[in-house]
Structure 1
Amino acid sequence: MKINTSAALLTAAVMPCTAVYAADNTKVGYGQGTNVDENNRPVDAVQFNSRFGDLDAFALSEDDKRIIITFDQGYENGYTAKILDTLKEKDVQAIFFLTGPYAQTEHDLVQRMIDEGHILGNHGMTHASLPTLSDEDAKKEIMSLHDYVMENYGYEMQYFRCPCGEYSERALETAKNCGYKTLFWSSAYVDWNTNSQPSPAEGLKKLGDAAHGGEILLLHSVSATNAEILGQLIDDFRAKGFEV
């Protein structure tokens, strides 16, 4: 799978959810692991693609020259505008995974994401763990946010990220049957704890050391560190020869 970060090229229509059958609904907490292959890709992420690619669920892109930057948007902490400024300055398009409350309360920032060519992703209307829901409620968790964003922003989302990083085979099948590709990640760090932020030097080193082709990088926009280091991080990725 090649994930193209040009929103204009994402033209496939998302279809209404169809029935989910007897897929396993055992809840699994995703993690990319620490073991890496010869290309510095986390082995667990590679195996995830192999196992669940037929359900349109991916932890890596097949574009081995690119790093895709994604942000989870659970709530606004005052840093998203600065992040958008940096992305615009560096000419980078990112994927922003919105929760329902974010889409409902941060209209100006969401509209700016769209206007500046970023991709909006679906992170669940209530950020509920899909394997804990009935099939009908799991569909509603996805499609109620899908419909809200379509109706209020005129934007059709096509990428889903499982809330809490928790999934099951049935949850992935539900997302696929709703017309979505599910994106996890192959690089992340503890940036979400606003009371215990890594230093800028720590963040740059950790993310730089983990860089790899096909990377899907998970960041959180509530992080003061991320807002501070994003420009340098993009420059560092490009200095290593990656497209961002």
Structure 2
Amino acid sequence: MRLVRQNYKNGAKWRGFRGGIALLALTAVVSGCADDGSGGVWPAHGQQPLKAPPARALDGYASKLRLAQAQRVAAAKRWGLAQTPLTAPPAPARKPVIKARKGFEVNGQEELGLPPVFTTIPTKNRVVFLTIDDGAEKDPRFLRMMSELKIPYTAFLSNYLVKDNYRYFRKMRDRGITLNNHTLTHPYLPGLSYAEQKHEICGMQRVMRNQFGRRPTVFRPPYGNYNQDTLRAAKACGIKYAPIWDEEVFVDHWEYREDDRDLHPGDIVLSHFRGRNDWKGTMPDMVRRFMKKVTAKGYAVARLEDYL
């Protein structure tokens, strides 16, 4: 039986239509039809399946979206944001090809298959990526703020700063945040030998596996400084990507790599786990400054790992 939805002009007729579909599905079941396991109903004599109407599922999905947005609006007000954060588009089905930024390559970059160093993800989406380094400040309000606002970020951890409270970063991991490698002691890597650099990177890989359950494939060299030995050592330790950053945000200002001093689609933004001991404010203060500019410029914050 084929049903054609006509141009119903009022809610009563649409509700009647939906009721008719429900009655039809019930009749099919009573008359010996079987559920095919995919939401359709197969008649007993092999005719085409009758699909249940999508209206109820669509209504439920729309309700969830409205609730999620209302919660985000309320969270934005509660945390003192100037505007409600924009929602990032879905993760790309086809990941962009990541190459070393021009001028950031090392000798043998492609021939040796070394992890690329880059500052921006190639995408046309109006998204940026927040990355936070080191691990000195362990502010519980920051965890709550980011969870309630549903703002994704990526952490790059150094063991000498996180070892006094691995539990804080496990909470972060359990909330869906990816934890990545930022060496054991945060040294100036180009000043070390290959063996010493490998110890710093592979040693942190072991810490990450033992404390957080996985060895990352993403690594950030301290201070953004590296040489060929750094990337060779990183590759030997299982690293595939070495992102640095295009902008850096503090509690009271921004700093820029590009002369235009602006955001661009796919930019990676750096900040740090810092508080009043180092800044004139807190990590929530930093997030407010970050989100004020990002949202005003029409950007959403996306999850870095979704693009790698």
After TM superposition, the score normalised by the length of structure 1 is: 0.67
- 1:59 CA displacement: 1.6
- Say which SS state the counterpart of residue 234 (structure 1) adopts: helix
Number of the residue aligned with 2:243: 183
Residue of 35, 38, 63 corresponding to 2:123? 63
Residue of 175, 191, 194 corresponding to 1:116? 175
Number of the residue aligned with 2:156: 97
Q: Distance in 2 between matches of 1:162 and 1:111?
A: 22
Task: Describe the shift of the 1:177–1:63 C-alpha distance in structure 2 as closer, same or farther (beyond 3 A).
Answer: farther
Q: Distance in 2 between matches of 1:46 and 1:135?
A: 23
Q: Distance in 2 between matches of 1:215 and 1:64?
A: 11
Aligned partners of 1:219 and 1:226 also within 8 Å: no
Number of the residue aligned with 2:102: 47
Task: Describe the shift of the 1:129–1:107 C-alpha distance in structure 2 as closer, same or farther (beyond 3 A).
Answer: same
| Structure 1 unaligned regions, length at least 5 | 7-44, 192-197
Please list the CA deviations of residues 29-66 of structure 1 after superposition, one character each: whole Å capped at 9, or x if unmatched.
Answer: xxxxxxxxxxxxxxxx9534677686322221123422
Task: Describe the shift of the 1:90–1:126 C-alpha distance in structure 2 as closer, same or farther (beyond 3 A).
Answer: same
- 1:176 CA displacement: 2.4
Aligned partners of 1:221 and 1:227 also within 8 Å: no
Aligned partners of 1:49 and 1:59 also within 8 Å: no
Matched residue count:
190
- 1:102 CA displacement: 2.6
Aligned partners of 1:72 and 1:218 also within 8 Å: yes
Matches within 5 A, 1:1-244: 46-48=101-103, 55-56=114-115, 57-65=117-125, 66-76=127-137, 80-180=139-239, 181-189=241-249, 191=250, 199=252, 202-203=253-254, 210-222=262-274, 223=279, 224=281, 226-231=283-288, 233-234=290-291, 236-244=293-301
- 1:106 CA displacement: 1.7
- Cα RMSD of the aligned pairs, angstroms, is 3.1
Task: Describe the shift of the 1:177–1:64 C-alpha distance in structure 2 as closer, same or farther (beyond 3 A).
Answer: farther
User: Which amino acid in the other structure matches residue 221 of structure 1?
Assistant: F
Larger radius of gyration: 2
Identity score, percent: 26
User: Which amino acid in the other structure matches residue 195 of structure 2?
Assistant: E
Q: Distance in 1 between matches of 2:132 and 2:227?
A: 22
Q: Distance in 2 between matches of 1:226 and 1:203?
A: 14
User: Which amino acid in the other structure matches residue 141 of structure 1?
Assistant: E
User: Which amino acid in the other structure matches residue 143 of structure 2?
Assistant: L
| Structure 2 unaligned regions, length at least 5 | 1-89, 92-99, 256-260, 302-308
Structure 1 outlier segments of 4+, above 4 Å: 48-54
Deviates more, 1:111-120 or 1:171-180: 171-180
Q: Distance in 1 between matches of 2:192 and 2:104?
A: 24
Aligned partners of 1:63 and 1:214 also within 8 Å: yes
Q: Distance in 2 between matches of 1:210 and 1:84?
A: 28
Please list the CA deviations of residues 63-112 of structure 1 after superposition, one character each: whole Å capped at 9, or x if unmatched.
Answer: 34221100112422x5x322222221221221111101233112221111
- 1:166 CA displacement: 1.5
Q: Distance in 2 between matches of 1:59 and 1:173?
A: 19
